[in-house]
Structure 1
Amino acid sequence: MNLTEATWTEVRDAAPDAALLPVGSTEQHGPHAPLGTDALTAVAVAEAAAERVREAGDPDPVVAPPVHVGVSEEHRAFDGTLWVSPDTFRAYVRETVESLASHGVDRVVLVNGHGGNVEALAEVARRVSRDESTGAYAVSFTWFEAVGEHASDMGHGGKLETALLRRVAPDLVREAEVGSAGDGGSPRWGEWVRGVNLAHDSDEFTDNGVVGDPSAGDAELGAELLDRASESLAAVLDAVRERDRGRR
């Protein structure tokens, strides 16, 4: 059930118990990929996981509207990037989860597509789950951490994100820019000395915002990434639904 497209009476009658809340960002992804990449990929993984759940005959989860702006100040040097403070972001996501719980949708997986959101979402999930007044239980899931051996190839606007975009939103990839995107990018995230990243913002180590080689990410790889991530997410949702909250 896509919450944006459903009516309130349809939600009432379906009485869903669980939700997938996609969380992304609006930030630069090089000259070849859209600013909304992280939200687009999070939504695609959430919808694919929901389809898996339906095909398995389990109750249909709600796919909530995505959170489009995240913790992205590290990309502020690149035009079009939007960001909010971690405090604002945490409050917004937490209150969204609480509003779902007020309607009985009290098991929520935060489906994340942006690395800068990871720390804040983990805290949100803990705080929501510890607040007995709402009865809600939440966990955070980041799709590119759930793709097996491919996870080590994650950059920024690089191989994995370009591959998944070519699978789920090919018309939004500026194919003519892919080659130059890799040439003007960085092979790795950050500027490291003895395990410490000296760079706070991405423009300190990448000229065009890209980290990795986007040309290496084709639609075939994107299909595999979507399959792996959605399979993992469906399993996490099942575990969240079944978990005994009485355990401490």
Structure 2
Amino acid sequence: MKLSEATWTEVREADVDAALLPVGSTEQHGPHAPLGTDAMTAEAVAQAAAKRWATADTEATDDGEGTDDAVGSAVAGDLLVAPPVHVGVAEEHRAFDGTLWVSPDTFRAYVRETVESLAHHGIDRIVLVNGHGGNLEALAEVARRVSRDDASDAYAVAFTWFEAVGEHAGRMGHGGPLETAMLRHVAPDLVREERIESARDGGSARWGEWIRGVNLAHDSDEFTDNGVVGDPAEGTAALGEELLDRASEALCDVARAVVERDR
């Protein structure tokens, strides 16, 4: 179920196991990829996981048992996909036009109050589905605070899709192979293919400027001329399909654990 497309009566009548809240950013992703990449990819993973969950539910009904190990015994209802949070903690990209950001305090408050809105309606198991590295610390804190609130039955965890793609995780970069691959699979019309070569040539091989485990660079323009880290040319649509499959399967595993866990 996609919350933005449902009516309030449909939500009331629905059997919802958990909610998936996609969280991204509006920030530069080089000259070839859209500013909304992080929210788009997070939402794509959430929607794919919800579809996988629903398919396993149907199979369980038809066969008398679940056939998808990524879902298993938790399947009873649906995963609700909430509207994405499009602006995140992204001041590190402020040198590049179009980038939007809010303070970590504002971001945490917004995400937490969105989760509390869901919990108010009895949807009290939530996975924050993240697509932006700059949100990691803030989302972990939100999940802890929500889950420790004795006044609520809500329980939340944070899941970042590009950390859940096996051996590919180390190739993340920024506007690099993984994000370009996902876009080529889920939103190919938004990739400026004629700019892939210049995106690669003007980018950086790694994120940051490091010495003894310390990143000396606070902003991305200190180490990449055009905002890119990694080679976007390596991000094929076939790789994107694999990434979406791996990430959505992992998200179903996490959702199952969240649904079955005693708070």
Aligned to 1:168: 186
> What is the match of residue 208 of structure 2?
190
1:212 aligns with 2:227: no
Which residue of 2 is the match for residue 128 of structure 1?
A: 146
1:200 aligns to what? 218
Q: TM-score, normalised by structure 2?
A: 0.92
CA distance in 1, matches of 2:79, 2:236: 30
1:90/1:124 contact within 8 Å kept: yes
Report the TM-score, using the length of structure 1 for normalisation: 0.98
| Equivalent-residue separation in structure 2 for 1:134 and 1:80 (angstroms) | 38
AA in 2 matched with 1:230? S
1:54 is matched with which residue?
A: 54
What is the Cα-based RMSD across aligned positions, in Å?
0.6
1:182-201 per-residue CA deviation (whole Å, 9 max, x = no partner) reads: 00000000001111100000
Partner of 2:248: 230
Structure 1 runs, 4 residues or longer, greater than 2 Å off: none
Match of 1:96 in 2: 114
Q: Distance in 2 between matches of 1:50 and 1:73?
A: 31
How many residues are treated as equivalent by the alignment?
A: 245
Does the aligned pair in 1 maintain the 2:175–2:232 contact within 8 Å? yes
5+ residue gaps in structure 1? none
> One-letter code of the match for 1:238?
R
For residue 132 of structure 1, report the CA deviation from its aligned partner.
1.6
Measure the CA separation in 2 of the matches of 1:244 and 1:84. 34
Map of 2:125 onto structure 1: 107
Amino acid at match of 1:212: G
What is the match of residue 240 of structure 1? 258
1:23–1:111 CA contact under 8 A, matched in 2: yes
CA contact (8 A) 2:15 2:78 kept: no
> 1:36, 1:53 → 2: CA distance?
26
Q: Give, as a single letter, the amino acid of the residue that structure 1 aligns with 2:145.
A: R
Q: Give the whole-Å Cα distance in 2 for the aligned partners of 1:228 and 1:210.
A: 24
Matched, 1:66 2:81: no
Partners of 2:20 and 2:108 in 1: CA distance: 17
CA distance in 1, matches of 2:254, 2:15: 20
Q: 1:77-99: CA deviations, max 9, x gaps? A: 00000000000000000000000
Q: Distance in 2 between matches of 1:179 and 1:50?
A: 35
Distance of 2:238 and 2:17 partners within structure 1: 34
- Write the deviation string for residues 181-231 of structure 1: whole angstroms up to 9, x where unpaired: 000000000001111100000000000000000000000000000000000
- Displacement of 1:178 in angstroms is 0.6
| Residue pair 2:17, 2:125 contacting (<8 A) in 1 also | yes
Report the counterpart of residue 116 of structure 1 in structure 2: 134
Partner of 1:7: 7
Listed one character per residue, the Cα deviations across residues 40-65 of structure 1 (whole Å, up to 9, x for unaligned) are: 00000000000110011021111000
**Cα distance in 1 for residues equivalent to 2:47 and 2:41:** 10
The one-letter amino acid paired with 1:47 is Q
* 1:240 partner letter: V
Unaligned runs of 5+ in 2: 58-74
What is the CA-CA distance between 1:134 and the residue it aligns to? Answer: 1.7
Residues in 2 aligned to 1:96 and 1:65: alpha-carbon distance in whole angstroms:
10
Percent of matched pairs sharing the same residue: 80
